[in-house]
Amino acid sequence: MRKITTPLTREITRSLHCGETIHLTGEIYTARDAAHKRLIESVNQGKPLPFQIENAIVYYVGPTPSRPGRAIGSAGPTTSGRMDVYTPALLNLGLKGMIGKGARSPEVIAAMVEHGAVYFGAIGGAGALLARTVKSSEIITYEDLGAEAIRKLTVEEMPLTIIIDSKGNDLYKLGRLKYLDLKEEQ
């Protein structure tokens, strides 16, 4: 298991491979559909983004309220495809990593290859386990969005799998092909 620390530079993303499992430590940001829409509106209006997006990682999550003594409540990934319409523009601004679940569009994968970004998969249904890796959580903007506000999280050894690497290799496609090959051999 490889350990990665943010910021996620192009040098790091180029060294990550589809199917590889890592432990991520450092600062990441949360954002879902409504926050992405606002981010793109800011970009289109020439306004600065509320966080440094270059070499950043965005986690597609809307965490539940935290219990006493915890930095965050359950924090499982949401379906990434809902952010696909916004993602190429953010990759163009320097976003280097995304954490979520589910397949990505061909347009997102092409933008990832162009900009040297990666897509990490987190286990859906394991929100309580993932929340234990979050050491601090701070809302930085869009508080009116509730669970969908953008937060800065500090994570320690968050377990993730490289679903799509910076070369465009896609575990969803490669895993299916490998399964079909093994099935054929039987």
Report the CATH number at residue 86.
Answer: 3.20.130.10
DSSP SS3 for 161: strand
DSSP SS3 for 120: strand
- Residues 175, 33, 20, CA angle at the centre, nearest 5°? 25
Helical ranges in the chain per DSSP H: 10-15, 33-44, 87-92, 106-115, 127-131, 171-185
DSSP SS3 for 110: helix
Catalytic residue among 17, 23, 36, 115: 36
Domains held by the chain: number: 1
Task: State yes or no: pLDDT of 115 exceeds 90.
Answer: yes
- Residue 178 has a pLDDT of 67
Given a contact cutoff of 8 angstroms between Cβ atoms, the answer to whether 96 and 117 are in contact is: yes
Q: What's the predicted TM-score (pTM) here?
A: 0.93
Per residue in 40-65, pLDDT (tens digit) is 999 999 999 999 999 999 999 999 88
Which residue segment(s) compose the domain that 147 sits in? 2-185
Active site (annotated) includes residue 23: no
Mean pLDDT of 15-41: 97
Instruction: State the pairing for strand pair 134-141/118-121.
Output: unpaired
What's the pLDDT band for 174 if we cut at 50, 70, 90? confident
